[in-house]
Amino acid sequence: MPRAFAAGQSACAQESIRDRLSFENPAFEKSRSICYLHGDPETGDDPLRYLDRLQPVALLALRLVLGAIMIDHGYGKVFGGLSHHVQVVSSLGLPGWLAYGFAAAEFFGGIALVVGLLTRLASLAILIDLAVAIGKVYGKNGFPSANGCQFPLACAAMAFALIFFGAGPIALDAIAHSGARSKKT
Protein backbone atom coordinates (compact mmCIF):
# COMPACT_ATOMS: atom_id res chain seq x y z
CA MET A 1 0.00 0.00 0.00
CA PRO A 2 1.50 3.38 -0.96
CA ARG A 3 2.40 5.60 1.95
CA ALA A 4 0.08 8.40 0.73
CA PHE A 5 -2.94 6.15 1.12
CA ALA A 6 -1.66 4.80 4.43
CA ALA A 7 -1.59 8.35 5.76
CA GLY A 8 -5.17 8.88 4.60
CA GLN A 9 -4.27 11.29 1.80
CA SER A 10 -5.48 11.01 -1.77
CA ALA A 11 -2.77 10.96 -4.41
CA CYS A 12 -2.79 10.71 -8.18
CA ALA A 13 -1.51 7.83 -10.28
CA GLN A 14 1.97 9.38 -10.58
CA GLU A 15 2.39 9.34 -6.81
CA SER A 16 1.44 5.67 -6.47
CA ILE A 17 3.62 4.70 -9.45
CA ARG A 18 6.55 6.61 -7.94
CA ASP A 19 6.09 4.78 -4.65
CA ARG A 20 6.11 1.42 -6.43
CA LEU A 21 9.25 2.11 -8.43
CA SER A 22 12.63 1.56 -6.83
CA PHE A 23 14.29 4.55 -8.54
CA GLU A 24 13.63 8.23 -7.97
CA ASN A 25 12.73 10.39 -10.96
CA PRO A 26 13.46 14.14 -10.58
CA ALA A 27 10.50 14.98 -12.82
CA PHE A 28 8.18 13.30 -10.32
CA GLU A 29 9.71 15.30 -7.49
CA LYS A 30 9.20 18.61 -9.33
CA SER A 31 5.58 17.86 -10.19
CA ARG A 32 4.76 16.25 -6.88
CA SER A 33 2.40 19.02 -5.73
CA ILE A 34 0.19 18.65 -8.82
CA CYS A 35 -0.48 15.02 -7.93
CA TYR A 36 -2.73 15.92 -5.02
CA LEU A 37 -6.30 16.94 -5.74
CA HIS A 38 -6.41 19.47 -2.90
CA GLY A 39 -2.76 20.47 -2.76
CA ASP A 40 0.39 19.00 -1.36
CA PRO A 41 -0.09 18.41 2.38
CA GLU A 42 3.63 18.87 3.04
CA THR A 43 3.95 22.31 1.43
CA GLY A 44 0.35 23.53 1.61
CA ASP A 45 0.36 24.40 -2.11
CA ASP A 46 -2.99 24.21 -3.87
CA PRO A 47 -2.50 23.63 -7.61
CA LEU A 48 -5.98 24.86 -8.51
CA ARG A 49 -5.69 28.10 -6.53
CA TYR A 50 -4.75 30.02 -9.68
CA LEU A 51 -8.32 29.49 -10.94
CA ASP A 52 -9.55 31.88 -8.25
CA ARG A 53 -8.12 34.74 -10.31
CA LEU A 54 -10.52 33.82 -13.13
CA GLN A 55 -13.69 34.15 -11.04
CA PRO A 56 -14.46 37.64 -12.43
CA VAL A 57 -14.35 36.19 -15.94
CA ALA A 58 -16.70 33.37 -14.88
CA LEU A 59 -19.19 35.88 -13.45
CA LEU A 60 -18.94 37.91 -16.64
CA ALA A 61 -19.68 34.79 -18.70
CA LEU A 62 -22.70 33.95 -16.52
CA ARG A 63 -24.05 37.48 -16.89
CA LEU A 64 -23.47 37.69 -20.65
CA VAL A 65 -25.01 34.31 -21.42
CA LEU A 66 -28.06 34.71 -19.18
CA GLY A 67 -28.50 38.32 -20.29
CA ALA A 68 -28.40 37.41 -23.99
CA ILE A 69 -30.90 34.59 -23.46
CA MET A 70 -33.30 36.83 -21.55
CA ILE A 71 -33.00 39.71 -24.05
CA ASP A 72 -33.87 37.28 -26.83
CA HIS A 73 -36.88 35.94 -24.93
CA GLY A 74 -38.13 39.40 -23.96
CA TYR A 75 -37.52 41.20 -27.26
CA GLY A 76 -40.54 39.79 -29.08
CA LYS A 77 -42.76 40.50 -26.10
CA VAL A 78 -41.67 44.12 -25.66
CA PHE A 79 -41.59 45.00 -29.37
CA GLY A 80 -44.82 43.84 -30.91
CA GLY A 81 -46.09 40.84 -28.98
CA LEU A 82 -47.09 42.33 -25.65
CA SER A 83 -50.86 42.07 -26.24
CA HIS A 84 -50.47 38.41 -27.16
CA HIS A 85 -48.28 37.85 -24.10
CA VAL A 86 -50.98 39.41 -21.90
CA GLN A 87 -53.46 36.89 -23.31
CA VAL A 88 -51.06 33.99 -22.72
CA VAL A 89 -50.44 35.04 -19.11
CA SER A 90 -54.19 35.43 -18.54
CA SER A 91 -54.83 31.95 -19.97
CA LEU A 92 -52.46 30.56 -17.33
CA GLY A 93 -54.76 31.81 -14.59
CA LEU A 94 -52.58 34.79 -13.69
CA PRO A 95 -53.56 38.46 -13.84
CA GLY A 96 -52.85 39.88 -17.30
CA TRP A 97 -50.92 42.85 -15.92
CA LEU A 98 -48.15 40.46 -14.80
CA ALA A 99 -47.23 40.06 -18.48
CA TYR A 100 -45.79 43.59 -18.44
CA GLY A 101 -43.56 42.72 -15.49
CA PHE A 102 -42.45 39.45 -17.05
CA ALA A 103 -41.60 41.14 -20.35
CA ALA A 104 -39.71 43.90 -18.55
CA ALA A 105 -37.84 41.38 -16.38
CA GLU A 106 -36.77 39.43 -19.44
CA PHE A 107 -35.81 42.26 -21.78
CA PHE A 108 -34.63 45.05 -19.49
CA GLY A 109 -33.32 42.62 -16.88
CA GLY A 110 -31.29 40.95 -19.61
CA ILE A 111 -29.83 44.30 -20.65
CA ALA A 112 -29.00 45.07 -17.02
CA LEU A 113 -27.18 41.74 -16.71
CA VAL A 114 -25.15 42.29 -19.89
CA VAL A 115 -23.85 45.66 -18.69
CA GLY A 116 -23.67 44.59 -15.06
CA LEU A 117 -26.01 47.23 -13.65
CA LEU A 118 -28.32 46.39 -10.74
CA THR A 119 -27.31 42.78 -11.27
CA ARG A 120 -28.76 41.33 -8.08
CA LEU A 121 -32.13 43.03 -8.59
CA ALA A 122 -32.29 42.05 -12.27
CA SER A 123 -31.35 38.47 -11.37
CA LEU A 124 -34.10 38.34 -8.76
CA ALA A 125 -36.68 39.57 -11.28
CA ILE A 126 -35.46 37.00 -13.82
CA LEU A 127 -35.53 34.23 -11.21
CA ILE A 128 -39.16 35.06 -10.32
CA ASP A 129 -40.07 35.16 -14.02
CA LEU A 130 -38.45 31.77 -14.62
CA ALA A 131 -40.00 30.25 -11.49
CA VAL A 132 -43.45 31.22 -12.76
CA ALA A 133 -42.61 29.87 -16.23
CA ILE A 134 -41.43 26.56 -14.75
CA GLY A 135 -44.43 26.30 -12.43
CA LYS A 136 -47.12 27.27 -14.92
CA VAL A 137 -45.77 26.19 -18.33
CA TYR A 138 -42.74 23.91 -18.39
CA GLY A 139 -43.11 21.99 -15.14
CA LYS A 140 -46.17 20.05 -16.27
CA ASN A 141 -44.17 18.68 -19.23
CA GLY A 142 -41.69 17.02 -16.88
CA PHE A 143 -37.96 17.24 -16.67
CA PRO A 144 -36.66 14.98 -19.45
CA SER A 145 -39.15 15.92 -22.20
CA ALA A 146 -38.44 18.08 -25.25
CA ASN A 147 -40.50 20.96 -23.83
CA GLY A 148 -39.51 20.21 -20.26
CA CYS A 149 -38.10 22.48 -17.63
CA GLN A 150 -34.37 21.75 -18.12
CA PHE A 151 -33.52 24.99 -19.95
CA PRO A 152 -35.56 27.37 -17.76
CA LEU A 153 -34.25 25.57 -14.69
CA ALA A 154 -30.64 26.03 -15.84
CA CYS A 155 -31.29 29.73 -16.48
CA ALA A 156 -32.96 30.04 -13.07
CA ALA A 157 -29.88 28.47 -11.44
CA MET A 158 -27.69 31.04 -13.20
CA ALA A 159 -29.91 33.88 -11.94
CA PHE A 160 -29.86 32.39 -8.44
CA ALA A 161 -26.05 32.31 -8.46
CA LEU A 162 -25.86 35.92 -9.63
CA ILE A 163 -28.15 37.04 -6.80
CA PHE A 164 -25.62 35.76 -4.27
CA PHE A 165 -22.32 36.42 -6.10
CA GLY A 166 -23.24 39.72 -7.70
CA ALA A 167 -21.88 41.09 -10.94
CA GLY A 168 -18.20 40.79 -10.12
CA PRO A 169 -15.53 43.42 -10.81
CA ILE A 170 -16.12 43.53 -14.60
CA ALA A 171 -19.43 45.41 -14.41
CA LEU A 172 -20.99 48.83 -14.02
CA ASP A 173 -22.02 47.79 -10.50
CA ALA A 174 -18.35 47.53 -9.55
CA ILE A 175 -17.57 50.95 -11.01
CA ALA A 176 -20.50 52.50 -9.15
CA HIS A 177 -19.43 50.89 -5.87
CA SER A 178 -15.80 51.92 -6.29
CA GLY A 179 -16.90 55.51 -7.02
CA ALA A 180 -19.08 55.54 -3.92
CA ARG A 181 -16.20 54.25 -1.80
CA SER A 182 -13.77 56.89 -3.09
CA LYS A 183 -16.23 59.68 -2.23
CA LYS A 184 -16.49 58.46 1.38
CA THR A 185 -12.71 58.62 1.93
Query: pLDDT tens digits, residue range 117-173?
Result: 999 999 999 999 999 999 988 877 777 767 778 889 999 999 999 999 988 898 998
pLDDT at 137: 87
Surface-to-core class of residue 74, CB atoms within 10 Å of its CB (0-12 exposed, 13-18 middle, 19+ buried): buried
For residue 132, the 8-state DSSP code is H
Q: What element of type H or E holds 114?
A: helix 98-115
pTM of the complete model: 0.70
What are the CA-CA distances from residue 38 to residues 44, 48, 52, 79, 177 (Å)?
Answer: 9, 8, 14, 51, 34
Surface-to-core class of residue 70, CB atoms within 10 Å of its CB (0-12 exposed, 13-18 middle, 19+ buried): buried
Of 123, 83, 89, the C-alpha closest to 106 is 123
CB 174 within 8 A of CB 168: yes
Which residues 6+ apart lie within 8 Å of 2 measured at CB? Answer: 11, 15, 16, 19, 20
